[in-house]
Amino acid sequence: MTIEELRETLNEAYPAALDQASLEAFKGKYEAEELGKMVDKTAIIEEGIDLILEK
């Protein structure tokens, strides 16, 4: 898998992860959309790529 394919996969998974995070981290206090405004999606995706590629 190329880095671009990995980035695309993580971007596709991001909404579901945000939904799950809103439930787990804040016990439903924030909707996924609200939580999404509080975080930097690009930074999260890039960190995910770094962690996946870490050896």
How wide is the angle at C-alpha 22 spanned by C-alphas 17 and 23, nearest 5°? Answer: 100
The residue-averaged pLDDT of 12-36 equals 92
Domain that holds residue 44: 3-53
Q: What is the mean pLDDT of the chain?
A: 93
Q: How far apart are CA 3 and CA 49, in angstroms?
A: 8
Structurally, the chain folds into a number of domains equal to: 1
| Torsion sign (Cα): 5, 7, 9, 12 | negative
5, pLDDT greater than 80: yes
Asked whether residue 10 carries a pLDDT value surpassing 90, the answer given is: yes
pLDDT tens digits for range 36-54: 999 999 999 999 999 999 9
Put simply, whether the predicted model's pTM sits higher than 0.85 gets the answer: no
Q: How far apart are CA 3 and CA 30, in angstroms?
A: 31
Q: How confident is the model at residue 55, as a pLDDT?
A: 59
